Amino acid sequence: MLEKVKAAVAQISPVFMDKEATIDKTCKAIEEAGRKKADIIVFSETHIPGYPYWRGANPISRWSQNQVEYMKNAVKVPSEDTEVLGDAAMSAGVVSVIGCTEMSDIKGSNTLYNSILFYGKEGDLLGKHRKLMPTHGERTVWAQGDARDLKVFDTAIGTVGGLICYEHHMTLLKAAMAYLGEEIHCALWDGYWVMDWHPGKKRRFREGDDPYLCDIDYAVREYAIETQNFVLSSCQYIADDEMPEDCQDFNIASGGSSVVNPAGVYLVEPVFNKETILYADLDLDDRRHTKAYLDALGHYARWDVLRLDMRGEPNAPFTEVAEIPYSKVKAVAEKHGVDPDKLEKMLRELT
């Protein structure tokens, strides 16, 4: 990680269910961050084209209509949409981390994923992360990510990674991100909420509410100190009058974005109920100070007692098996005194 990094967190409202208009706003925010000399900018969970607040609000007929519209506004990776975002990152010279709803890359599929796109300063799409475990009713909207989605990215400013919403409560996943060498963590959320205890549901954060009643506060600060990372926390903001009527009662997009240092201390406290871009200077010495006491990758790890096993296969409809040339089969067979035709037959049966 560079000694000094200027970070930006975009609390920029998407144009709900309008991919093209949201991409346009996203590019303008990246450009603004570039003008302010930011090194990295982070956008919220499913910033493009907005979080599906309608998922629990409607009868099934209305849900289906909304899901179809959501499919039409999902992002294909790669596509012209991702190229436009990459061009903006390159023009601004800013590492850009953008939440989106992604359309499956399997031909003929319309399955959606809750994803993060990672761009380098040169505008190259470094990769993506699909949410491993959609939460509760989200499973009616998005499929699960898989083993390919557990990764971090080396950039010009340091090693950057990201997780989405309740992934920050998956204990082993947090450990994996630390062990992969993450230094700057991007935490993407659908909005800052308050739990109504009697109805047992979330609601929008309002003036006068205690910001420390939301689990986002605990999640981002604990993630920071557990992993000794800077955390750039981007929470979605959408005003009620910008939402369809059947979504307004379920709209928790009140913002609440923040920046936290590796000791779990706010560099920028949560900001609510407005569009803004937050800026903070990340000082590598803050990470060194924390690691002097607690280094998850060194003197505060006990790999002789506890070790993490990362496993899994990609979700795919079929597996391609590489054909082994007969000349190689014959050479191995002759070396071990085996009939080459029989060996080739055995290999085919195994694959």
DSSP string computed for 139-156 = GGT-----GGG---EE-S
User: Looking at 165, 186, 214, 235, which residue is catalytic?
Assistant: 165
DSSP string computed for 213-256 = GSHHHHHHHHHHHHHT-EEEEEE-B--GGGS-HHHHTT---BEE
Instruction: Give yes or no: 100 in active site.
Output: no
User: Looking at 131, 186, 214, 247, which residue is catalytic?
Assistant: 131
Query: Which amino acid is located at 268 in the chain?
Result: V
Assess contact for 104 and 87: CB atoms under 8 A: no
Assess contact for 189 and 165: CB atoms under 8 A: yes
Tracing tokens 């979504």 back to the chain, one arrives at: 247
State the DSSP H helix or E strand holding residue 328, giving kind and residue range, or none if neither: helix 326-335
Distance CA 234, CA 218 (A): 15
Distance CA 179, CA 175 (A): 6
Instruction: Give yes or no: 165 in active site.
Output: yes
Assess contact for 49 and 73: CB atoms under 8 A: yes
User: Looking at 19, 25, 27, 45, which residue is catalytic?
Assistant: 45
Assess contact for 253 and 190: CB atoms under 8 A: yes
Within 13 Å and on the Cβ side, how many CA atoms surround 300?
14
Distance CA 110, CA 117 (A): 19
Structure tokens at 322: 């590489």
Instruction: Give yes or no: 131 in active site.
Output: yes
Number of other CB atoms surrounding residue 175 within 10 Å: 18
DSSP type of residue 39: S
| Residues with a known catalytic role | 45, 131, 165
